[in-house]
Amino acid sequence: MLQYVAVLTAAAAAVGAAVAAVGLWFAWLQMRNAHLWNRRKASFDYMNEWDLPEVRAVRARVMRVADPFDPQQTYSTKEELLTEEHRDAIRMVLNYFDSIGSGIRLGILDEKICHETMAANVYHYFRWARPYVLTMREVEPRAWEEIDAMIERWMERDRQRKQESLPTGYKKLPG
C-alpha cells in the first residue's frame, strides 16, 4: 500500500511539474506577444510623430529653401541660402531619423513598420543632407551613424524585395 502511495505521489508531482512547465511556456508566449505588440504600437506611434504639427513646422523650415526630394539638390547646392535656423531644422530631422535607427537596434521599434512608413523620407533627406553629415563627422565621427546602418539594411531589403517580385524567368536588364 505504501508503494502505491509513493507511486501516486511521484506521478502527481510529475503531472504538476508538466502543468507548471506548460503554464510557464504559455506565460512566456503571452509576454512575447505583448512585447511584439507594444513594439509595433510604439513604432506606429513614433512614425506618426513625423506628421505632428511641430515636426511638420521643422520640415517646413528646410523646405522653404531646399527640396530634399529633388535629386538635383543637396545641402551643398543650397548651403549659401541656409541660415542657422535651417541648420537646426536639418539637425532635428537627422536626429529624428537617428533615433529611429537606435530604436530599431535596441529592439524598441519594429524595423519593418519603420521601413514601410519612413524609408522614402529617410533616403531622400539623408541623400540631400549627406554633405552636411560628412562635414559634421569631421568634428564628431559618430554623428548620425545609426542612419547609415539603417539605410544599408533597408536598401538591401528593397533590393531583395525587388528581385523577389520579378516574374519567373525574367532577367533583369543590365544597368
Q: How far apart are CA 8 and CA 29, in angstroms?
A: 31
Q: How far apart are CA 40 and CA 112, in angstroms?
A: 9
Q: pLDDT of 36-51, one tens digit each?
A: 888 888 888 888 898 8
Q: How far apart are CA 16 and CA 108, in angstroms?
A: 36
Q: How far apart are CA 111 and CA 117, in angstroms?
A: 10
Q: Which residue has the higher pLDDT, 11 or 148?
A: 148
| Per-residue CA distances from 54 to 49, 57, 65, 134 (Å) | 9, 5, 18, 27
Contact between 74 and 127 (Cβ < 8 Å): yes
Helix (H) or strand (E) holding 79: none
**Phi, then psi, of 146 in degrees rounded to 5:** -65, -30
**Orientation of helix 53-63 relative to helix 84-105, angle to 10°:** 130
pLDDT of amino acid 33: 78
Q: How large is the average pLDDT for residues 23-36? A: 82
Q: How large is the average pLDDT for residues 10-34? A: 83
pLDDT of amino acid 15: 85
pTM of the model: 0.76
What DSSP string describes 30-49? HHHHHHHHHHHHHHHHHHHG
Grid cell at residue 139: 568634428
Contact between 40 and 103 (Cβ < 8 Å): no
Query: 5: which residues sit within 8 A by CB, 6+ positions away?
Result: none
Sign of the C-alpha dihedral computed for residues 30, 31, 37 and 40 taken in this order: negative
Q: Which residue has the higher pLDDT, 98 or 64?
A: 98
- Residue 166 pLDDT grade (very low, low, confident, very high; cuts 50, 70, 90): low
| Per-residue CA distances from 133 to 11, 23, 108, 112 (Å) | 67, 51, 25, 25
pLDDT of amino acid 13: 86
Q: pLDDT of 106-162, one tens digit each?
A: 999 999 999 999 999 999 999 999 999 999 999 999 999 999 999 999 999 999 888
